[in-house]
Amino acid sequence: MAVDPRVLTALPIAAARMQGTKRGVVSDPLAEKLLAGQTQLLQGVNTGYMAVRMKLGDELCLSQHKNGTTQVVSLGAGMDSRAFRLNLPGTRFFEVDMQALFELKQPLVADTPLRVESRHKVVGVIGEMDIGAALKAQGFDPSKPTTWLMEGLLPYLTVSATHNMAADVGALSAPGSALWGDDFSKTSVDRGMDFHGVPFESGFDDYDVMFRKVGFDDSKAYNMDGVNLDRHSGSVNVNPRYVVTPERARGREMCVMVRAFKTR
């Protein structure tokens, strides 16, 4: 049976992390392995954007861990290497993705030691699966705070799948939880976008409102033009002047990210 094309979008991200590692922009020693031999994907990768994305997720996991959060869920995990790469002692790391992704990924990481306490594969299709039940079956504890990653996932979800997932994430998040994800504005996606031939399903101007409504009281969306990697410190600068409200995003093309915290 043919592999769902959405699964294959994980590979160019691994290619970008491999290229970024070679250029000294980021460090992901596993990226080359996770590219699964698809070296043709190294041509024309967007190393800069993927490096920013990788760092944003890393920094959120690490800062949350410092605050005592030891549960991470990577939604649409793809070739996420954080369970093998980030020093997150005591952490249970859940990767949610489709069966075909894990069939591709598992043999590549089989011999790689974990840097977290445990890694859990949660198989399903977001939009069709019961996310809460699938996570809990793998030992997820909704009474504990969680760091949620939605890196490179949101464009592939339909409007209703996105709303339902946001509601699930809200319901499964104890105080202290945080999330991060990236997508494009509604106008951008409505005009037609794809990644390696896989069309995007939805873009939103109101991710900040969407996650505030499900309990993330400190929720902001940003135009990614104001989010950059500081080459000297190696960390990400998020310029507060690039916060976008639904009103400011409406009718404009832009790449956006949402970062939100449930403080109470």
Ligand X SMILES: C[S@@+](CC[C@H](N)C(=O)[O-])C[C@H]1O[C@@H](n2cnc3c(N)ncnc32)[C@H](O)[C@@H]1O
| Residues of this chain that bind ligand X (CB under 6 A) | 6-7, 9-10, 13, 76-80, 97-98, 101, 125-127, 151-153, 156-157
107's enclosing H/E stretch is: helix 99-109
Q: Which is nearer to ligand X, 165 or 249 (CB)?
A: 165
Q: Which is nearer to ligand X, 163 or 252 (CB)?
A: 163
Q: Is 181 helix (H, G, I), strand (E, B) or coil?
A: strand
Q: Which is nearer to ligand X, 3 or 245 (CB)?
A: 3
Question: If you count them, how many residues does the chain have?
Answer: 264
Rounded to a whole number of angstroms, the minimum distance from the CB of residue 14 to ligand X is 7
Rounded to a whole number of angstroms, the minimum distance from the CB of residue 261 to ligand X is 20
Other CB atoms within 10 Å distance of the CB of residue 237: 11
Q: Which is nearer to ligand X, 174 or 255 (CB)?
A: 255
Rounded to a whole number of angstroms, the minimum distance from the CB of residue 122 to ligand X is 9
Rounded to a whole number of angstroms, the minimum distance from the CB of residue 76 to ligand X is 3
Report CA torsion sign: 234, 239, 244, 250. negative
Please say whether the beta carbons of 95 and 119 come within 8 A.
Answer: yes
- Identify any residues that bridge with 236 across adjacent strands, giving them in sequence order: 229
Look up residue 53 and give its two tokens: 């994305």
Measured from each CB, the residue nearest to ligand X is 78
Rounded to a whole number of angstroms, the minimum distance from the CB of residue 250 to ligand X is 26
How far apart, in whole angstroms, are the C-alpha atoms of residue 61 and residue 81? 13
Q: Which is nearer to ligand X, 197 or 240 (CB)?
A: 197
| Pairing, β 236-238 against β 194-195 | unpaired
